[in-house]
């Protein structure tokens, strides 16, 4: 995971999107729903009755209490994920020996340690404090007004989009994550990039934000459910958006298996976005397209991580575009 994920400010129910979807881990403790094949956890703002109705048209939905969702199986709704103790070792091995060898040396060995005699086991601790310098493949150390360490940036790319001088480019560091690199010769110190950084906004997270409704949901169509990661809620919401003559933006793999956000006008396109990717996409490449669609009065469903959704909304605010739900 990206370093900033381990200090995520959206580790709560107070999230930037109108809807949050994911796996409903632990549902078997509170419901008779069969968890095999996946069950969607859907968090919906209580002013979004239309979306709740849309889900109910295609899915079997069951409302739950907030504590059913914020449980020991859903840790990121109460605190950020811990970084694996072998994370640094993995990336060091990745650069020298490749992915397969890095996976074996760090994670496979870590798993096998559990089966060693007690006297030979090595105690390792996971952590959230993994801030480090951003280093690019050419050895350049990144230090600028936006980023001082790896935990200062979520890679949303908004700063590069708003720069009037085109002085900011998003470039990959040694671990493969994008960070903003500023061309100081082009920079005029207008500070618009700092104003555009939604990640730097102060936010006080609350575990139980009023106005959030919790649902467990399973799609009626077995084919949709089997091709989805967790119940099919994304498909149901995408179908609703397209029925409104709208468009859908979601994450898909390109020909080189790089995760990219794409614009979908048909369910055939939406199929490319089904399923979890477990890798960060470059969502900022579609922000201009979202703005254009909204200006044309289209209904837009944008699916992304909380920091990507927050970045998009902040970008549209900077562009003085009124955002409907």
Q: Quickly state the pLDDT bin for 125 (edges 50, 70, 90).
A: low
Q: Span 176-193, mean pLDDT?
A: 94
At 205, is the pLDDT very low, low, confident or very high (cuts 50, 70, 90)?
A: very low
Task: Quote the tokens at residue 35.
Answer: 């968890």
pLDDT at position 90:
85
Kindly tell me the burial class for residue 233, based on how many C-beta atoms sit within 10 Å of its own C-beta (0-12, 13-18, 19 or more): buried
Pick from 215, 243, 238: nearest CA to 227 = 238
- Structure-model confidence comparison of residues 271 and 13, the more confident one: 271
CA distance 281 to 302: 13
The pLDDT confidence band at residue 112, using thresholds 50, 70 and 90, is low
Strand blocks (E) in 152-253: 168-172, 178-182, 212-219, 247-253
Q: Give every CB contact of residue 241 below 8 A, 6+ residues apart in sequence.
A: 247, 248, 299, 300, 301
The residue among 113 and 84 whose pLDDT is bigger is: 84
Q: How far apart are CA 20 and CA 178, in angstroms?
A: 25
Q: Which of 74-83, 106-115, 253-262 shows the highest mean pLDDT? A: 253-262
Bridge pairing between strands 247-253 and 300-302: parallel
State residue 188's pLDDT score.
94
Tokens 């467990």 label which residue? 216
**The pLDDT of residue 130:** 74
pLDDT tens by residue, 227-255: 888 899 999 999 999 999 999 999 999 99
- Decide if 10 contacts 306 (C-beta within 8 A): yes
Q: Is 151 exposed, middle or buried (0-12, 13-18, 19+ CB in 10 A)?
A: buried
Average pLDDT, the chain: 86
**Quick one: DSSP state of residue 300?**
E
pTM of the model: 0.87
Residues 6+ apart with CB under 8 A from 19: 42, 43, 44, 45, 48, 51, 237
Task: Please report the pLDDT score of residue 204 as a whole number.
Answer: 45
Lowest-pLDDT range of 101-110, 143-152, 183-192, 234-243 = 101-110
DSSP state of 83: B
Q: Is residue 20 scored above 80 in pLDDT?
A: yes
pLDDT at 155: 94
CA 109 to chain CA mean position, Å = 29
- Give the tens place of pLDDT for each residue, 275-287: 888 888 989 999 9
pLDDT tier for residue 71 given thresholds of 50, 70 and 90: confident
Q: Which among 126, 120, 128 is positioned nearest to 8, based on CA atoms?
A: 128
Q: How far apart are CA 145 and CA 268, in angstroms?
A: 43
Q: How confident is the model at residue 88 (pLDDT cuts 50, 70, 90)?
A: confident
CA 325 from chain centre, in angstroms, equals: 19
Q: Where are the alpha helices (DSSP H) in the chain?
A: 49-58, 66-69, 87-97, 99-102, 109-112, 158-162, 192-195, 222-226, 233-243, 267-270, 287-295, 306-318
Bridge partners of residue 43, in order along the sequence: 20, 214
**Residue closest to 125 by CA, chosen among 156, 163, 83, 162:** 83
What is the pLDDT, as a whole number, of residue 275? 86
pLDDT band, very low/low/confident/very high, at 208 (cuts 50, 70, 90): very low
Rounded to an integer, the average pLDDT of 281-300 is 94
Mean pLDDT of 92-104: 84
Domain locations in the chain as residue ranges: 3-79+205-318
């Amino acid at each position: 995971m990206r370093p900033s994920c381990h200090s995520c400010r959206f580790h709560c129910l107070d999230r930037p999107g109108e809807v949050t979807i994911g796996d409903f881990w632990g549902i078997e403790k509170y419901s008779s729903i069969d968890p095999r094949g996946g069950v969607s956890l859907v968090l919906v703002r209580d002013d979004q009755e239309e979306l709740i109705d849309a889900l109910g048209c295609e899915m079997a939905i069951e409302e739950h209490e907030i504590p059913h969702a914020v449980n020991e199986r859903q840790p990121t709704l109460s605190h950020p994920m811990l970084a694996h103790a072998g994370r640094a070792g993995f990336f060091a091995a990745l650069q020298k020996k490749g992915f397969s060898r890095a996976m074996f040396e760090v994670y496979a060995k870590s798993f096998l340690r559990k089966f060693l005699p007690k006297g030979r086991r090595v105690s390792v601790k996971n952590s959230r404090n993994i801030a480090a310098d951003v280093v690019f493949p050419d050895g350049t150390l990144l230090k600028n007004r936006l980023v001082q360490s790896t935990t200062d940036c979520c890679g949303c790319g908004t700063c590069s989009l708003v720069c009037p001088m085109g002085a900011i480019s998003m470039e990959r560091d040694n671990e493969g994550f994008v960070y903003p690199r500023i061309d100081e010769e082009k920079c005029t110190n207008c500070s618009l990039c700092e104003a555009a950084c939604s990640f730097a906004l102060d936010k006080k997270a609350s575990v139980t934000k009023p106005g959030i409704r919790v649902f467990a949901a399973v799609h009626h169509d077995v084919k949709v459910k089997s091709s989805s990661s967790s119940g099919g809620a994304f498909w149901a919401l995408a179908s609703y958006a397209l029925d409104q003559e709208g468009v859908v933006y979601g994450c898909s793999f390109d020909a080189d298996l790089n995760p990219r956000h794409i614009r979908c006008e048909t369910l055939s396109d939406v199929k490319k976005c089904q399923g979890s990717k477990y890798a960060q996409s470059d969502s900022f490449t579609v922000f201009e397209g979202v703005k254009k669609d909204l200006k044309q009065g289209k209904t837009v469903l944008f699916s992304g991580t909380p920091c990507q959704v927050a970045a998009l909304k902040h970008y549209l605010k900077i562009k003085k575009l009124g955002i409907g739900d």
